[in-house]
Amino acid sequence: MTDKSHTSQSTSRLSGPPVNPKFRSALDELVALAHQGQSQQSEVYNPSDDWLTTRMPILDDLPQEQQAKILEEVAELEKIAEEANAVGKAATRVWPEAVVRLDNGGLDFFSQLGVVRRPDLTQYFVDGFEANRDGIAFSSENQELFSEVFEYISSAMRSHFKDADTIIQTDRQVADAPSRSFHARQLLFGVRYLQLPYMWRQLTFDLPKSEYNNTPDIVEVTIPNWLEDLGLPDDLKAKINESGLTQLIFKAPTKGLSLHLGFDYAGEHKMGPLSI
């Protein structure tokens, strides 16, 4: 009997695109730096909930003048939302960049970058598996483009880890069953969207501090304002705009990586480690 497994696999329409060596190298470097992590002496190395909340723009704690401006913006956003709804669309924002303290003491957050997106903005790179059945495979064109983007991400990581600033590291545990739990690390670029590490903590379990510096099983890297914060040259930004991937959730399960570019919605970050 002739073994047709290799032939059928290579001709399957599910076969993934060929792997660009430059892309693989850039991806491996990014993951290695994420495993290295932030300086233990940095204030953004596993900061406390208090550290996060005291730096949030909580509406009730803001000066009266600033509160009034925010409420004016609320009225404007409501009008925009009504106009969008009238034509069957969803508004990108429903509330200003302010946190609302609830009667029960909880905090309410509102996305500034939008929660509605196209499913094709989640793309997969499953190294070592020819057939990618999990979703949209990262194309050869995207590999070529993002090999350069990943180099800028790695450069920014290297710089911020050296200066012990800007990137907030949060080490947590996913699942709590013995031998079936995972060390997950979130790396958030910037201190603007502090709801992301704050909410991530509510959805995961405590990890013993003695394990913070261990190599994580899963890494979630999130850069909400990546087009502005990475120092990308204009020609590269133009290529990104042309590709339509100004927002991207990139999954590399075999690398333990979930990369979020252009999102501040907590729901996306909740799924980060769960889908890896």
Q: What is the pLDDT along the chain (276 residues), one digit of tens a residue?
A: 434 434 334 455 556 688 999 999 999 999 999 999 999 999 999 999 999 999 999 999 999 999 999 999 999 999 999 998 999 988 888 899 999 999 998 999 998 888 766 788 889 898 766 655 556 889 999 999 999 999 999 999 999 999 999 999 999 999 988 788 999 999 999 999 999 999 999 989 999 999 999 999 999 999 999 999 999 999 999 999 999 999 999 999 999 999 999 998 877 766 767 766
Q: How far apart are CA 232 and CA 242, in angstroms?
A: 15
pLDDT at 1: 42
Residue 65: its pLDDT value, please? Answer: 96
Residues 6+ apart with CB under 8 A from 52: 194, 197, 198
